[in-house]
Amino acid sequence: MKSIFIADAHLTGRDDPNQVQLVEFLESLAREDREPESIFILGDLFEFWIGENLVGLYEYGPVTDILRQLNQRGWRITYLEGNHDFFLDPFLARVAGIRICPHSAEAELDGKKFFLAHGDTVNRSDLGYRVLRFLLHNRFVLLLANNLPPGMVWKISFHLAGLSRRHQYLPDQNPLRPVFLNFAREKIRDGFDYVILAHSHQAEILALTENQKSGFYANPGDWMGSRSYLAWDSGELKLRSYKK
């Protein structure tokens, strides 16, 4: 079983170089002579997308098109919603033919148990964000997003995206890192072999031991800045970067 894990591209539109190179990367997978595999998108592929927005569908058309093509060829694509893209089901699921997970997902690859999530809800002490998330993730907001003029929603969305933009930290100074590691230890204690989170934009794979149970915490980093992703192949998880 081969799988790819990618996150945090924060695509801003059709002409965004991040989207151009992401499409090139996904097209290269489609061109390779190999059996269909799995792609796990761990949220924030888009700078902002909520509900059914035709402007977003046009601006993000190149990447949604290649995802649909991969799905039609038998690739198994799972999208875990982030803090910049939510209420994607059923619209994006229908457009691209992919599985949408609003919170987290579990997977088994080559006999190993994986826990997957974007990671924005892991820090339970961040009350300010939890309140903001509660306000945005309600059906009234979805109703507005689906009924206001798409262009207006597009502009408002990018303003909201700017409010939630994460600060950039050095790896040893990122306040999310110890929170993510503690969360990963909890999941390893619960029986998972790999815990993959995104959101912090910092790529790494780290071996952990919890109550004599060994496992790994991993983060694909951000496509937006480093073009990094995780690849599972032959029972091993590796951190890679796309080079054109």
In this predicted structure, which of 128-137, 152-161, 166-175, 179-188 has the lowest mean pLDDT? Answer: 166-175
pLDDT recorded at residue 80: 97
- Flag whether 71 is in a domain: yes
Looking at the predicted structure, is the pLDDT value of residue 182 above 80? yes
* Range picked from 33-47, 62-76, 118-132, 169-183 for highest mean pLDDT: 62-76
Average pLDDT, stretch 38-66?
Answer: 91
pLDDT digits (tens, 9 = 90+) for 73-113: 999 999 999 998 989 999 899 999 999 999 999 999 999 99
Q: What percent of the chain has pLDDT over 70?
A: 91
Please give the backbone phi and psi of residue 235, each rounded to the nearest 5 degrees, phi first. Answer: 80, 15
**pTM score of the predicted model:** 0.89
The one-letter amino acid at 79: Y
Does residue 239 have a pLDDT over 60?
yes
Location of structure tokens 């983060």: 219
Q: Is residue 212 part of a domain?
A: no
CA separation for the pair 141, 18 (Å, rounded): 28
H or E element that contains 133: helix 127-136
Residue entry with tokens 């994460």: 166
Instruction: Say whether pLDDT at 47 is over 70.
Output: yes
Phi-psi region of 56 (alpha: psi -120 to 50; beta: other; left: phi over 0): alpha
Number of structural domains (the chain) is 1
Q: Which domain holds residue 231?
A: 3-105+126-167+221-241
pLDDT in tens, 128-164: 777 877 777 888 877 877 777 877 777 777 666 665 5
> Does 28 fall in a domain?
yes
- CATH classification of the domain holding 72: 3.60.21
Residue 78 lies in a domain: yes
111 occurs within a structural domain: no
